[in-house]
Structure 1
Amino acid sequence: MTNKAISGRFRLDVLLRAFATGALFLTGIAGTAQAAGCGTTVRAGQQELIIQSGGLERSAIVFVPANYTGKKKVAVVFDLHGSNSYPKDQLSRSRWDDVAKREGFLVVAPQGGLDGKLAGTHAWNVPGVTAGNGPDDAGFLKDAVETVKAKFCVDAERIYASGYSGGGRMLSQYICNGNGDFAAAGFVMSLRAGYPRQKDGVWLPDNTSCAPPKPVSIIAFWGLKDNTNPFAGGGSPYWQYSGETALKRWAELDGCEGEMKVATGERISYMSFDKCKGGARILSYTIADGSHAWPGKTVGFSLASAADKVSEEVDAATRMWNFFDDSQGKLIADVRAKSDCPDDAIAATSKAGVKGTTCSQPGKPDSNEHMAADAL
């Protein structure tokens, strides 16, 4: 056999091996896409999800809506419980699963790594707050996000999170520590912007303890009668600076332009920054008679119809979902002065983009009020 023939045969063998390797590589890519959850059917309803993290088996509750097919990528909302609580308790409080049923997204309620003060409850190992003993909950959240992306058909650009009380403090610091998993985040009685530090007798966020990797849209809710995490500041050592201070610090971190917009009402007031880098926005509601409880439908958030008239009252989770996934911001809050309506009514605002006046009756106490005292 000639050298030319041998050389030609060698080249053919190389090409065949390269083709085979490429085929295997392409097969590997296809296998990875399949493993990412798209194409796999999952039963609807609540189910437990086991997450391997830090050498431990951790858990979360996942809610899958009935219309989930495993073929179309869907959004995800992570719902972080407060201290002395647990995932199912949080879902019953937030009602995120009810919103997911209507809108067709996944809800993931992870379980904090510390034992709560009450039997069967849990808390979060918040960086800079707890003594550091216990599992790495920041690492767990990262692993939880990756596990959900691997097991379900998820739109990675539409992963959101909300946190109540201790869960919100955990979420705040998670983002502060440089984790960019969430496109937007919601906070109920809980937003922080880094560790508290005192300078010249004034409590402020420590700038060195909060460095998010990108601008993130934030919606926050506060109760002015919340004595656990007071909007005015003070309280426990982990708290100290005010909610308004936290909001203004996030506006700096998000590179927001202009002054904070403020609208004051008898029951609900709001503050907002509408123009921030990367399309981020910041919106905050203070509830005059709100305590340390998740705001329900009776608070006064309202859904504006196409005719710009208030059609129904909604809860905090619905308000958050609209903020997360609808840049038009169709939902508005009650900030109209009392004199615009009868003395026994609460008015929906025109200042937040709704024309005309619509009055609704004052709300009853939230049904989850009894759970607030221990779930911090």
Structure 2
Amino acid sequence: MKGLLRRACVLAAALVAVPLTPSLAASGALSSGAPSSEGRGSAAPQEPGTSVLRTITSGGRERTYQLHLPDGYDPAKSWPLIVAYHGRGNTGAGTEAFSRLSTLPAVVAYPNGVVGTGDGDRQAWQGAPYAAAGVDDIAFTGDLLDSLESRLCVDTRRVYATGKSNGAGFTGLLACRMADRFAAVAPVAGAFYPGTGEDCDPERPVPVIDFHGTGDTTIPYQGDEDRGLPAIPEWVAGWAQRDRCATRLPDEVAEPDITTRRWTGCAGGTEVTHVAVTDGGHTWPGADGYSGGGCTTQTIKAHEVIWDFFRGHRLPRDKH
């Protein structure tokens, strides 16, 4: 088994890209029947297939984000939108580089956080103890969605959030406070500090898929009481309870290193899924390059699993 695990994982190595699977490529824009944003028919702000750094003003502060338009972007068709939040000290462009999210048939925005107080030059997100004081990233996210939906043809029922580490923790806060805007969330190696979940009372059940390595030494899988970090299985089970899930299915083990735990029969047709990577580090499964310390599994590609989960969930029609 240890030999199999070594083959499934790599330590901070550059990886060869794998072509997008047909099942992923087939589920992008919808030509009809999708609730389009006000940007329908507007000229694309950049060439399809490209990523460009852009700015908006939020809370009196200039904020930036990396915007990727998928190949074949057509402003006459409605496209899903994924917002991906970087980890502490990383950038939107850095997350785009390793995550392979920009290979998906969706518009992807990679926003940049604000440098935390006394934290050197490391950008971070609201809810963490090292986040910049007085910065409202929830409001920024709302402003970002408004801006993107006004300029692009976005299916407002198919807006999703994912992130790594500190950014993943922030997606937990988004699920709590912006359940009316995000159809589902997918945290990876999440840093779920108390500030990301206090008084969490979402206005609707939120589908969640969570990824975490059992060998993560940065954000330990079993939690860190001194830092207020919960054990990851307990955090996920909390969402299953919040979503009023009726059934926890038997764990599914995919050799050599992936264990998937699922809850079904949840309120509003939602579901909760946890993907544990045995001996996995503080990394993005299937990353194309360095995504954090420790072992990076190649048994699964997080962007593919995330997309399969996202495309099964939409906001209820009464939200838009």
TM-score band w.r.t. shorter chain? 0.7 to 0.9
Partner of 1:310: none
SS at match of 1:50: strand
Shift of 1:68: 0.7
Which structure 1 residue ranges, 4+ long, deviate > 6 Å from structure 2? none
Matches within 5 A, 1:163-178: 163-178=163-178
Matches within 5 A, 1:119-134: 119=121, 121-126=122-127, 129-130=129-130, 133-134=133-134
Partner of 1:334: none
SS at match of 1:160: strand
Shift of 1:293: 0.8
Counterpart code for 1:124: W
CA contact (8 A) 1:268 1:300 kept: no
SS at match of 2:143: helix
Matches within 5 A, 1:180-329: 180-190=180-190, 192=192, 195=194, 209-234=199-224, 237-239=227-229, 241-264=230-253, 266-296=256-286, 299-301=297-299, 314-326=300-312
Partner of 1:113: 114
- Which gives a bigger RCO, structure 1 or 2 (Cα 8 Å, sep 6+)? 2
Distance 1:109 1:235 in 2: 31
Shift of 1:48: 2.3
CA contact (8 A) 2:115 2:131 kept: no
CA contact (8 A) 1:178 1:211 kept: no
Shift of 1:129: 3.3
Distance 1:188 1:131 in 2: 19
Matched residues, number = 266
Shift of 1:36: 2.0
Partner deviation per Cα, 1:96-139 (whole Å, 9 max, x = no partner): 112x2xx2x100000112249564x411132x634761421111
Distance 2:307 2:237 in 1: 23
Distance 1:161 1:62 in 2: 14
- TM-score by length of structure 1 reads 0.65
CA contact (8 A) 1:227 1:235 kept: no
Distance 1:245 1:260 in 2: 16
Structure 2 gaps of 5+ residues are: 1-34, 288-295, 314-320
1:136/1:78 CA distance change after superposition, 3 Å? same
Higher mean Cα deviation, 110-119 or 315-324?
A: 110-119
Question: What's the % identity of the aligned pairs?
Answer: 26
CA contact (8 A) 2:84 2:162 kept: yes
When you count helix as a share of all residues, which structure comes out higher? 1
SS at match of 2:83: strand
- TM-score by length of structure 2 reads 0.76
Structure 1 gaps of 5+ residues are: 1-32, 197-204, 302-313, 328-376
Partner of 1:140: 140
